[in-house]
Structure 1
């Protein structure tokens, strides 16, 4: 039965799933029409909401792009690549390969979603080079599936927002420390369950494939030639570019600034994470030239994010201003109780995430509704936030937006992996919902 389900899902998505850019254009049209049909807005009003929203996330889009490219540069440093090489050298069978890549991606993503996403894709490529008869599509899908844990980890958007002084809901809920969300027994229990269930699911999917789609080592060769340490450097400009001292002194200044920021009471946020990744990459690459070469490769993988984020910002603008997102979220919470609100916030966040694939942006829309509902029914607000966070990450398994960087590294299309991802989403959804209820 699993073979039939897996084969059916893979064929369905391979045949009917368009490119992610086409998908965002279709979602735009759907939301545009829904705003007129269900909310009673005219086409001129919906066009205004769309155009106003189109530019609202430019700074956030730049932050996300920098997170992606700086995370990529760190993941491609010799230190991280040697670690990937060691892991790949001890993985000999297809089943062990998918288990290894999913587990490692989950663990790394919990600490930082960008590095986890990139490390997973790179590890999948290396394992495909070394392991015979492993299905490359499933290998990459297993790597991407680790992304499901991002909103429960140290780079989680909503839990970090409500722990930051001055956040937009502080007058209603105050500050909620991460000890009640990221490090709560509920969240850590779900994380542990996913660490067990997801790799096992990938292992079962591997067993259900009769004819694996494999790739040769030649097909996975990097386009950019790797320069060795014996490269002749003669010009003064080249000596500066390859200077280790310049890279290390610059990195030391960056790290000193971070320490000063921390001692002055600064907290963890996107800007400080990007700042650390920039100087960590510069230090580990050992020269500005090596850092820039890797950065050039990283930017090519971020092109999808650059063009699609404004479209999703436009969708978010229509969803927010028209009232669609609020009504959708309200529909879920209207049938909730103190006991069921966390799981209903999980389900509602999963649905809305398809239209607003930004954890911080979605929390801005859905957060006030969930907080009001929690206070009215007497639900535990940190648990509701935990449910929201897992729901936002959960449907990323079928929302290809965040898979774009991993797919660019792997050289695949979204339709190649989504058939496997939808099964992973179904299995993990049952586990997460059950634990939120219990």
Structure 2
């Protein structure tokens, strides 16, 4: 396992560019592919790219807020204390690796946004706590735990498939969660990932001269971010300064946020989505930081890591536009469907989803691009609609181990580059693929 991870680490160090450059290369690759493999010309592909370019603005804002509000919450004294205490459970580098992998996997199963942020922050605390830990590998372990998300409680495809009015309702009907998340095969895949991934990361763990230790500059914290800012005694405390440092104002706004969350759950059921997570992060972070100005300083400190998200999301939106409107996504999916049987369909749908995810790294985007082809084909072959939907979902989660798009929040928190972790993630891609294949084929 170490030899394999060393091989892929060396490979990505040499050939994998910065995620932004990677997105630019994918854009040009798909542009040319659309011209070569569909009936559309350069003008058509240019239009599809431009029409899709701004389609993920709302989602980009949501993801930026996941990073900012999650980071600000974790920098509060109370939450940071919890993370430090939990990190103290591990006494050796090996125990730290296992703890981070399991913790991130469980957190991502509960909610993917929560897991991405907390996993990276937890890995950072473990790296600070345990001498001899490989910092980049711990961050890789936090991202590897992300594999559980699409079989978890916030999986976008199973949740959308169960929601009235979704794009596939007329074709596939509503698919209840009892046919997707709460099934035997999903339970097997999720438990297998939570058991196998920690073992695998322990076997991959760098030792000896391969260990890259903690860089104090990377892990240095801006103490002013979490501090409660108060006016010096020599400065006249004006109304403005009182408001900036008012605990009462923070408490009032936090109570308003909690009241809405309670109302939302009472009227919609226990539905966790990215907006409810962000609101919880925001209100809790504001409450725990004590004053508005202290919280704003924490947010400003966290916002420095959103650059990659802000600049890359439009390009992936443009790629999704070309993929969808040119028919390339459908062509890739149909190529796998055409050689499928009822027995092989789930696994081949999973593989096609993995390939599409390289260009459309979004669960919701997958449902739009692949749903119209996968779901009718499943119905025609007599394949359970829930399995078909989850095959798309698993393929998206699986290929995230080779697509650096979703690693951006963790990397921003860690202060690392994509080449620092992707070799380990590609190794995980191979191992986890076996788990998904067994779950889809035999359960």
TM-score (norm 2): 0.93
Do structure 1's residue 376 and structure 2's residue 375 form an aligned pair?
Answer: no
Tell whether the 8 Å contact from 1:98 to 1:199 is kept in structure 2 after alignment. Answer: yes
- Taking the aligned partners of 2:370 and 2:399, their CA distance within structure 1 comes to 16
Residues 205/235 of structure 1: CA separation in 2 closer, same or farther (3 Å cut)? farther
- Taking the aligned partners of 1:369 and 1:286, their CA distance within structure 2 comes to 51
Q: Post-superposition shift, 1:268? A: 4.3
1:252 equivalent in structure 2: 255
Within a 5 Å distance, the mapping from 1:173-212 to structure 2 comes to 173-206=172-205, 210-212=209-211
2:159 equivalent in structure 1: 160
Residues 228/274 of structure 1: CA separation in 2 closer, same or farther (3 Å cut)? closer
Q: Post-superposition shift, 1:208? A: 6.3
Within a 5 Å distance, the mapping from 1:11-50 to structure 2 comes to 11-50=10-49
Quick one: which of 239, 242, 263 aligns to 1:239?
242
Tell whether the 8 Å contact from 2:358 to 2:399 is kept in structure 1 after alignment. Answer: yes
Q: 5+ residue gaps in structure 2?
A: none
1:67-117, CA deviations, whole angstroms, 9 ceiling, x for partnerless residues?
A: 332233333333321221012223121111111111101111111212211
**TM-align CA RMSD:** 1.9
Within a 5 Å distance, the mapping from 1:111-130 to structure 2 comes to 111-130=110-129
Matched position secondary structure for 1:301: helix
Matched position secondary structure for 1:397: coil
1:71 equivalent in structure 2: 70
2:418 equivalent in structure 1: 414
Tell whether the 8 Å contact from 1:6 to 1:419 is kept in structure 2 after alignment. Answer: yes
TM-score (norm 1): 0.94
Quick one: which of 378, 388, 394 aligns to 2:392?
388
- Taking the aligned partners of 1:355 and 1:218, their CA distance within structure 2 comes to 35
Q: Post-superposition shift, 1:403? A: 0.8
Matched position secondary structure for 1:302: helix
1:319 equivalent in structure 2: 323
Do structure 1's residue 80 and structure 2's residue 79 form an aligned pair?
Answer: yes
Residues 11/157 of structure 1: CA separation in 2 closer, same or farther (3 Å cut)? same
- Taking the aligned partners of 2:253 and 2:279, their CA distance within structure 1 comes to 12
Q: Post-superposition shift, 1:189? A: 1.5
Q: Post-superposition shift, 1:53? A: 1.0
- Taking the aligned partners of 1:268 and 1:226, their CA distance within structure 2 comes to 29
1:165-218, CA deviations, whole angstroms, 9 ceiling, x for partnerless residues?
A: 211122223222223212222212111000001111100001666521112445
Residues 44/228 of structure 1: CA separation in 2 closer, same or farther (3 Å cut)? closer
Tell whether the 8 Å contact from 1:105 to 1:146 is kept in structure 2 after alignment. Answer: yes
Residues 400/265 of structure 1: CA separation in 2 closer, same or farther (3 Å cut)? closer
Of the structure 1 ranges 97-106 and 127-136, higher mean CA displacement relative to structure 2 is found in 127-136
1:131 equivalent in structure 2: 130
Tell whether the 8 Å contact from 2:158 to 2:389 is kept in structure 1 after alignment. Answer: yes
Q: Post-superposition shift, 1:412? A: 0.9
Residues 276/136 of structure 1: CA separation in 2 closer, same or farther (3 Å cut)? closer
Number of residue pairs matched by the alignment:
437
Tell whether the 8 Å contact from 2:97 to 2:138 is kept in structure 1 after alignment. Answer: yes
- Taking the aligned partners of 1:271 and 1:132, their CA distance within structure 2 comes to 38
Q: 5+ residue gaps in structure 1?
A: none
Do structure 1's residue 289 and structure 2's residue 293 form an aligned pair?
Answer: yes
Of the structure 1 ranges 98-107 and 233-242, higher mean CA displacement relative to structure 2 is found in 233-242
Residues 11/209 of structure 1: CA separation in 2 closer, same or farther (3 Å cut)? farther
Of the structure 1 ranges 246-255 and 197-206, higher mean CA displacement relative to structure 2 is found in 246-255
1:145-166, CA deviations, whole angstroms, 9 ceiling, x for partnerless residues?
A: 1111111112211111112121
Quick one: which of 429, 435, 440 aligns to 1:425?
429
1:344 equivalent in structure 2: 348
- Taking the aligned partners of 1:144 and 1:84, their CA distance within structure 2 comes to 17
- Taking the aligned partners of 2:5 and 2:187, their CA distance within structure 1 comes to 30
- Taking the aligned partners of 1:204 and 1:139, their CA distance within structure 2 comes to 13
Of the structure 1 ranges 227-236 and 22-31, higher mean CA displacement relative to structure 2 is found in 227-236
Q: Post-superposition shift, 1:275? A: 2.8
Do structure 1's residue 305 and structure 2's residue 315 form an aligned pair?
Answer: no
- Taking the aligned partners of 1:230 and 1:318, their CA distance within structure 2 comes to 49
Tell whether the 8 Å contact from 1:128 to 1:217 is kept in structure 2 after alignment. Answer: no
Matched position secondary structure for 1:364: helix
- Taking the aligned partners of 1:223 and 1:71, their CA distance within structure 2 comes to 16
